[in-house]
Amino acid sequence: MNNLLLFESKKIMKTLYFIILIIALFSFVSFYFVYNFVHTERADDYIYKNETVKSNFQSTIEELSITEESNAANKEEIEFFVNEIEELDMLSEAAKNYDWNTILNYEIANGEELVKMSPSQNVYTWPTGFTYEVVYEKNKWLLEHNIQPVFPIHSNSEITAYDRVFDTAIIEEIAYDFYNKYDSSSVYFLYLLIGVGLNIGGAIFFLFLFGNVVTREDIGRNGPINFLATMPLKSWKVIWSKLITTVLLTFLILLATALWGLLLGIIFDRFGDWNYPVLIYKPDSSFRFMEMGNFILLSMLLFFIVLIFCYSWLFLYSVLVKQTFMTIVLTIVTLVLGNLLSGSDIGRGLSFAPYNPFNYFQINDIITMEYALTAENFSFTIWNGIFSLLISSFIILFASYLIFKRKAK
């Protein structure tokens, strides 16, 4: 079997097409890292922001001071801004000394007030009380675990599933501007990379990468499959070795991409914190946090299983249509259609929906349980996903093998 695996790997890796796609993948990761690196809010940026706000406050104080009708209200206002400036100075000083605890304590105190002031859940505010609570608890988690925060960490720095209703596009844009979505530390960068890469788009990339694993054998057309068929090898070993090689190479590519992301972070920034909190939704407007490292591992595991499901379709179409481009197109059409239909309100509302493998392509949303929350069905779990993906992959692969055996003669 080992010789078959090695031979299959050579067949895949010794093509210009494969090499170009791998270079494209690593270039994308590198560019995305640069993009994140540039947009990361560091201590200096934090101080600069504070200084900008401070200078605005100072101008306001000056304007209020020179107003002829200086009265008690003005004085009160001036006092407020003076206090604000003092706080900003304190925060800037803390940032200068990388004293994150001071900053976190300040945000926790602010957050606590906001949480207390939040109206009941029946009254809509933006952000929601749920979000304030999340930010508050998150900052507490950062403080307790002595974690360097990823800026910004203020009360509006999080957008939860409950907030995704915006009155206007401008509000939406502003909201996302506040949202903490860039960081170039290794772990956080990997988390962000998972957000952009581990979805149906990422799966399609892998389909292109391994699209001709079976079709290159020209089954039924006196192609290379006849060479393998006239070796002392069982036919199931031939097809099985293709699947194993594809899965192994996928694993290695995912691992190498993750390591590359981590390495970029370590070299140009810092490693970050494995236990950075990631929000996980629970029923009844409750939530918990998952350590970012665990989140990354689970995401990669689920994506890996999703890819096996995609490959099973790829193999099925490979033995049916025997032509690479058509195979890839049909596989993509099946996956996209399956995903769209399953993801619709009707699709997600079906009783067996949690066991429909097409529902598990939104890796991030599945693990954070946002998918379950929006579908109002908390049976959409990673484990149900893995179960349904593996069972259906096995069935499709078995069917592919039967067709392969029939078509090969």
Summarize as ranges the residues that interact with other proteins (CB under 8 A).
3-4, 6-7, 10-11, 14-16, 216, 218, 221-224, 226-227, 229-234, 409
Q: How far is the CB of 221 from other proteins (least distance, A)?
A: 8
How long is the chain? Answer: 409
Minimum gap (Å) between residue 292 Cβ and other proteins: 40
What's at 155, amino acid-wise? S
Rank residues 16 and 72 by Cβ distance to other proteins and give the closer one.
16
CB of 6 to other proteins, least distance (A): 8
Q: What is the dihedral of CA 175, 177, 179, 181, to 10 degrees?
A: 150
Minimum CB–partner distance for residue 2 and other proteins (Å):
8
| Nearest residue (CB) to other proteins, 19 versus 165 | 19
Residue 133's nearest CA partner among 149, 150, 117 is 117
Q: Are 217 and 223 in contact (CB under 8 A)?
A: yes
3-state percent breakdown (helix, strand, coil) of the chain, nearest 5: 70, 5, 25
Q: Which CB atom, from 3 or from 285, has the smaller least distance to other proteins? A: 3
Task: Decide if 382 contacts 302 (C-beta within 8 A).
Answer: yes
Closest separation in Å from C-beta 240 to other proteins:
14
CB of 27 to other proteins, least distance (A): 23
Left if phi > 0, otherwise alpha if psi is -120 to 50, otherwise beta: which for 73?
alpha
Q: Which is nearer to other proteins, 325 or 394 (CB)?
A: 325
Q: 127: cis peptide before it, omega within 30°?
A: yes
Give Cα separations from 306 to 287, 303, 356, 358 (angstroms). Answer: 26, 5, 12, 9
